[in-house]
Structure formats: structure tokens, C-alpha cells
A and B are shown apart, each in its own frame.
Chain A
């Protein structure tokens, strides 16, 4: 297949998409230089507790991923963020700040996403009120210290999940839907009900987008089995009362009436935004003007970046994506990269 055995692919990012891309390329017989800003593989998977829709342990998934990466063809260069790709005599040069770190014949960018900084939605009081947390913070608490979710030493009485924080919102310049927050809210609501069976859990949503396989079923399970309450209305403001509980105001749009509830925890289901370490490609803007995510030359047909021979994107650096989707995208990008090297 490949005439020159010395071809090398660089994969930037070691989250689900990067893992999948690196493993696939290695399996296809190519040497992979693998970069990540962190010292370990997994990316945000390291911080998750259970994965939707079937509540698989994130650690197990990570372990399975890790088992695949032990091949001799994968060369890890972790602990350094690649943020720039230069072109030099047909080689792609990887830069970290202004330092050359390596080079490759083809690069797969899998730098993932960042979570939206909830302080930008000041009306929810995140960063001001202790009882307002974000979904990844809840994930962390569930994973490492569920006891920290008690309120004044007691099981919390009321918990609210606020959907669409940092999504679908012109006020903060993010008009797209982050897609995964809905099901995250459903999953975490169930977990809270299991942890604190006496607790009322209310999800405030605008539209419930349970698009993935098993998501709608999880939604129904949350309603029926776990009695999670769903109220159709976006939370308008959160304020703190004297007991440091949070008072929320929303409209119940199905009743057409304003609504108020006092809760012990508010969980903001924060959306996904482009990673601050997203790779910039020299002399070219390959990002979507509207969203800031990387954009494929033709999203219908593949992962190639426009005007950038040899550079491919994979996973959530191209927009909000679930873990299986990111992994599949990494696999696909690796095969496209191989195809590119063969045809070159």
C-alpha cells in the first residue's frame, strides 16, 4: 500500500477522537506521533463519572481505550500543547507556541472542546453563589465525593438542572446547540435521584433534544422510573436567599405562567465551545466564522480541512459531539489520512 515506509502521521489530542485516530493509524501500519497538552490520555474522559445513555463507567471506557494504545507504532509526546501547524517543503511542522516540536506527512487535529465559562451568564450567579455549579463539576463530585452534594449535612431537598447555558444564546454570541447537554442533564438528574431518593429534581429546558441512540429511552426512564420533573421554560435568573439556597425564576411555558422555586443546588448544563488550544493552521482560517469550531472542507464527504492538504480534523474540535461520535470520527479521519498518503 504505502510505498515509503517512513511516512508518519501526527495526531494532536488524546481524547476519544485522538485515541481512536492514533490507534486506527497504527493498526493500519503507520507510525504515529501523538501529542497532547496533558500528561495522560483520555482528555475530559478522566473527569467523567458515568457515560450516557447506559451509565457505563467512564473509567472502564478509558481503560479499554488505553489497552489499545500500547502498540510500538504509537510514539507519545505528552505534556505539550500544539497550537500551530506550519508548512515546510511538503512537510507539516508542528509548533508549540513558537517552538518546533516535530513534523509529519499528515496531521489529524483532535483537540476537542472547552466547556463554556458559566460566569459569562451572570444572571445565574455562577462564581458568586456556592450552590450554583456546572455539569462537569457535578460529574466530578459524583465521581470523587458524592457526600459533598449534601446541603448542611442533609440530603438536598430540591435540585434544579438548567439547560442551554452557553448554547442557543445570542446574548453571549453562541447561537448553536451543544446537543449533549440535554442528555447529560437527564443522566445526572437520574443519578441525583438515586443518590438522594427524597430529593425533588427539576430540569428546566427549552427543547429536549434526545437525539442519540438510547437517549429518548433515558428521558422516559428519568420521567417514569425516577420521577424527574421537566419544566419547559428557560431559567431567567438565580438569586441567593438568606439560607444560601438558590431562588430560580422561570416561566412554565406549558402553563403560560411565571414560576418560582427554591433549590439547594443549581446545576448549569454548560455547552461546548472551541478549545482555547485549538490548532491554528498557517496562512488559513479553517474555522467556522459563526461558531469558531474547525470546519471540514466538505462535511458531507470527509474530515479534510479546506486548502490544507494532509490536515484532517476529528472529534469535537469540529463542533459538539458525543464520545462514540468522536471515536468514530477519529477512526474515519485516520483512514482518510492514510488514503491521502497513498494517493499523494
Chain B
């Protein structure tokens, strides 16, 4: 008989990582991945390698049914081939859907070795490459979970309200493809994964358990990507936001780039269409990725890690924690010149 899911722990390699990026994270959270690499290299002293030749895993194409299974498998085999060529065995995926898909592919190959042979043939034919499966395959949030206490020991800030001394109330949202597809591959299993809760509590915050905690953010692939279908997508986020609202969370964190983006953007849309606001004091709830949360407690500059690319403004939260920042640099370029400002959304002060 299986163990209790919440006790489930998985093996997370301790160094020498091969990092594969996420399409959505790069687009919408452009500071997050470089921040993650920087934390690994410069704060934790790890070796992490990014190969310029790696590409999308085709996950969004696969889940929108425009890329067939064997194509996706072969593209994934190509990523494995790059990793092997560079001498790495431990893979970190930035994207939760990539991670889920890598897990799925590895599982199918385990049960159907002839399929793996077939894919090896395709890869050879198309690229002349050969691959080996990674020894260790994790999601980026797993790494931060593994080193959460080390990060806490060098953190500049805690997830604590500076004025009241109370821990911040943090909603954790786990991307569905992180553990629902393979519960044993997620820290803590599929029902109550510990991967983000671990970060929140190690860094001084308090997790919020609300009824729709396990509900999907509603990305739904084709249900978002085609404009008239988006009602499905926003309705699911609305279910979550309405359910968490009474708990007055200070912050939402998500390990999936899609979830992070949708929980951020749909708050804007819901205010525009229905006048609904889910945070306190008439504010929306800031949404962070796991890298951004780590960066924040480690004292990185909020604008250097990309918090200005969020639709929900983060300043009220930064003030609550006591994070130092220069408001004048929010919308500037690398040289410090103002790029121009997005249309401002009202922000209230409690």
C-alpha cells in the first residue's frame, strides 16, 4: 500500500543541473528564470547549464492537439540528447507543463520500450543525435524547496507584515501538471503538495487553505488561446479567487508560469468586466512565481527581477514587508531611461 501522499518526498539532485526554459515564463515573467539561475549559481553555489540549442518542448502545441504525441516525444528526446552531449544527467524544467510532459514521456517509455526505440529512430533520422534519459528530472520549484532553509538563512526579508509582525497569508497554487499527472513525482503528492507550502513557511509566511485550493487556474490551452473560448478560462480563475477572497490573502504564489500569469491577468479583467476585486482595501492580490518569491526574500531589486511586468501592482505588498525599492526605476530600461508607462491601474492604500 502506498504511503500517505503528504509524506511523499522525491529525489532531487543536489548539483550539476541542465536547465530548460519555459515559453510562457520567458514571455510573461522575463526576470524569473535568470533570477533562478542567479540564485542557484551565486547564492547556493551550484552548477547550472543552459544550452542555447534547446527549444520549446512543444507542450502547448501538444495539449492544443496540433502537435502529435510522437513529435512531442522526439522534441523531448532532442532536449535529452543535448543534455547528454553536454555531460549532464540532472534536468530542471522551468515550465510545469514541460515537467509533466517529460514525466509522462518517461513513464510511457518505461511501459512501452518499443515506443522509445521508435522515437530514438525518429531523432536519429531527423537530427543524427542520440539521447539518454535523465537520471533526475525535477521542476525548478523542487530545487527551491530542497534549498528553502539555506535560502531562509541568507534571506534579507521575511514574509512578515512589518507593521503588525504577523506572518503574511500566502495562497499557494500548484500547476495541475506538476503533480496531478504523476503524484509520486511531486513533493507531497497531488492533493496537498508541499513544494510551495515549504517555501512559504520556511520564509516566515503562513499558507492559506481555502476550498478551491486544488482547482485548476483555467488555462485550458485551446480554451484560452482561441479568443471566444476564454470565458471558460476566466470562469475557473474566478472560482478560485472568490473562494480565497474571504481569507484576505496578501499574496498568491504559483509554480506554473501559466497559472501565475492567469491569476494575475484575470484579476484585471474581472475588475474591468464585473468590478470584482479580490484583495483587501480594494486592491487586487499580487501573484508571484516561486523564483520571484525567493528573489524577494533574498533582497533582489524588485524591478531587476521583473515585478513590474505583473499586471497586479506589487508596491503595497513590498511596503507591507518593508522591501526597499525606487519607484522611479520601475519602468526604465537597462540604462535607467524611462521606457514609457503602462496605463495606470488604481492602487489603494490601506
Contact partner, B5, options A122, A173, A237, Cβ 8 Å = A122
A242 within 8 A of B: yes
The proximity string for A residues 245-281 relative to B, scoring 1 for CB distances below 8 Å and 0 otherwise, is: 0010000000000000000000000000100000000
Query: Shortest distance in angstroms between B292's beta carbon and chain A's nearest beta carbon?
Result: 27
Interchain CB contact under 8 A, A242 and B191 = no
Contact partner, A122, options B4, B209, B211, B213, Cβ 8 Å = B4
Residues in B182-237 with C-beta less than 8 Å from chain A? 189, 191-192, 209-214
Interchain CB contact under 8 A, A239 and B1 = no
A119 to B2, CA, bound (A): 11
B247 within 8 A of A: yes
Q: Which residue of B lies closest to A119 (CB)?
A: B4
Take A120-B2, A122-B4, A122-B5 as given contacts and tell me if A239 and B212 are in contact as well, using a CB distance cutoff of 8 Å.
yes
The secondary-structure label for the interface of chain B is loop
Q: Which residue of B lies closest to A241 (CB)?
A: B211
List chain B positions with a Cβ less than 8 A from chain A: 1-6, 189, 191-192, 209-214, 246-247
6 other A-B residue contacts (CB within 8 Å) besides A122-B6, A173-B1, A242-B246: A120-B1, A173-B2, A237-B191, A237-B214, A241-B211, A247-B211
Q: Which residue of A lies closest to B213 (CB)?
A: A239
Query: Shortest distance in angstroms between A162's beta carbon and chain B's nearest beta carbon?
Result: 15
The secondary-structure label for the interface of chain A is mixed
A39 within 8 A of B: no
Interchain CB contact under 8 A, A172 and B1 = yes
Take A239-B212, A239-B213 as given contacts and tell me if A172 and B192 are in contact as well, using a CB distance cutoff of 8 Å.
no
Interchain CB contact under 8 A, A242 and B192 = no
Interchain CB contact under 8 A, B4 and A120 = yes
CB contacts (< 8 Å) of A171 on chain B: these are 2
Query: Shortest distance in angstroms between B212's beta carbon and chain A's nearest beta carbon?
Result: 7
A123 within 8 A of B: yes
A123 to B211, CA, bound (A): 12
Residues in A126-165 with C-beta less than 8 Å from chain B? 128
A306 within 8 A of B: no
A174 to B2, CA, bound (A): 10
Interchain CB contact under 8 A, B214 and A122 = no
Query: Shortest distance in angstroms between B191's beta carbon and chain A's nearest beta carbon?
Result: 4
A240 within 8 A of B: yes
Interchain CB contact under 8 A, A239 and B211 = yes
Query: Shortest distance in angstroms between A120's beta carbon and chain B's nearest beta carbon?
Result: 6
Take A239-B213, A242-B247 as given contacts and tell me if A122 and B2 are in contact as well, using a CB distance cutoff of 8 Å.
no
CB contacts (< 8 Å) of B192 on chain A: these are 122, 128
A247 to B213, CA, bound (A): 12
CB contacts (< 8 Å) of A174 on chain B: these are 1
Q: Interface centre among B3, B209, B211, by most A CB within 10 Å? A: B211
Interchain CB contact under 8 A, A122 and B247 = no
Contact partner, B191, options A123, A173, A241, Cβ 8 Å = A123
A119 to B7, CA, bound (A): 11
A120 to B209, CA, bound (A): 19
CB contacts (< 8 Å) of A173 on chain B: these are 1-2
11 contacts between A and B (CB under 8 A): A120-B3, A122-B4, A122-B192, A128-B192, A171-B2, A173-B1, A173-B2, A174-B1, A242-B210, A242-B246, A247-B211
